[in-house]
Every structure is written in structure tokens, then in C-alpha cells.
Amino acid sequence: MKSTGVVRRVDDLGRIVIPKEIRRTLKIRDGEELEIFVDNNIIFLKKFSKVSDLGEISKKLGDVASGLINKTVLICDRDFIVSGSGEFKKKYLNKELSKEISSNILSGHLYVEKNLSSITILNNIDEKYSYIINPILCFGDVVGAVIVLSLNSDISEFDINISNMITHFLGKYVED
């Protein structure tokens, strides 16, 4: 464990402030949930990801979708790719998303590029894909996204409908 050398006082309501530099480094946004663990006398804080808790079900959904549309299907939270299926899954699995993709996800909008176009999925790596970036919503908040990638200009309405089905299912699954 690495010490930051920062000391904070607990206030009378039991709150402690996480320094801005640490929040920025760990990409902890205002209102974001943290999970608390205790081991002996050590308290651990971890960013909570509703999507990463869906590991097995998101993997199975991705596998089925990838088989149906013959494209790579990635399921991610707001910062990391948590499951993948298809040709490029090993390239992206458990990797941190670029700031560009993270901000696209946080916008809550569906992005569809039917022609091959430059996209930066991982930091500092531009690639050419046709793609879908479809946000996963839980109680109206963006918790992640489904990303569909193809090396051809062949994104179809069926592909968009499949990504919609996955995002709606995972959003409802998390809500329940």
C-alpha cells in the first residue's frame, strides 16, 4: 500500500474529505459511489461499479450478441472495459477507456458511426472502426455502455437494436 502523506480530520458527522488530487487521479466524480472495506484497523475505499458486478451475465450477453451480429461487443462501466466478446476482446478487456470515450458515455447519448472512422478507445491509440457506443442507464444515471466494433462499414439497424436490448436489460437488471 502506498502512502500519500495526506492526513485528514473526521468531522462531527463522520465525514472525511478525499483530496482533489487523489479524486482527479482516480477519476472519482462528484456524487460517485465508493465501496468501503475494513480489514483489521484499515479502511479501504474502492470506486463502486454497478456494471463490473455484472461480470458473468454481461459476458454471456456479449457472447450471444457477438455471435448474432458477428462483431466485437464490449461492455464497460464509465472508466474500464469489464467484459468483451468477439475478435478484439483480448485487446480491450480490463483496459481503461480513453477520456474521449468516457466523456461520450457520460453524455448519455447513443453514438453510431456506420462508416470506418477514427476512434480512440484506449488512451493515445487511434484506430479505424465502424462502431456503436450505447449508454447503460440505471435510474436515469449513466453507469456504463455497450460498445460494438467492426472493421467494416457494416453497422446495421439490427446491430443497434441488439445493443439497445443489452443496455436496457443490464440497466433493468441493476435497478432490480
User: For the residues 77-92, what does the mean pLDDT come to?
Assistant: 90
User: For the residues 79-88, what does the mean pLDDT come to?
Assistant: 90
Q: Choose between 107 and 34: higher pLDDT.
A: 107
Does the pLDDT value for residue 27 go beyond 80? no
> What's the grid cell of residue 90?
483480448
Q: Choose between 129 and 31: higher pLDDT.
A: 129
CATH 3.30.450.40 fits 52-175, yes or no: yes
Between CA 56 and CA 73 the distance in angstroms is: 14
User: For the residues 84-89, what does the mean pLDDT come to?
Assistant: 90
Residue 51, pLDDT score? 64
User: For the residues 165-170, what does the mean pLDDT come to?
Assistant: 96
Q: The pTM is what?
A: 0.78
Residue 19, pLDDT score? 86
| Domain boundaries along the sequence of the chain | 1-48, 52-175
| pLDDT band, very low/low/confident/very high, at 49 (cuts 50, 70, 90) | low
- Assigned fold of 1-48: Pemi-like Protein 1; Chain: D (2.10.260)
Least confident of 22-26, 48-52, 135-139: 48-52
Does the pLDDT value for residue 151 go beyond 90? yes
| DSSP per residue, the chain | -----------TTS--PPPHHHHHHTT--TT--EEEEEETTEEEEEE--TTGGGHHHHHHHHHHHHHHHTSEEEEE-SSBEEEEESTTHHHHTTPBBPHHHHHHHHHT--EEEEEEEEEESBTT-EEEEEEEEEEEEETTEEEEEEEEEESSS---HHHHHHHHHHHHHHHHHHH-
Does the pLDDT value for residue 56 go beyond 90? no
Does the pLDDT value for residue 62 go beyond 70? yes
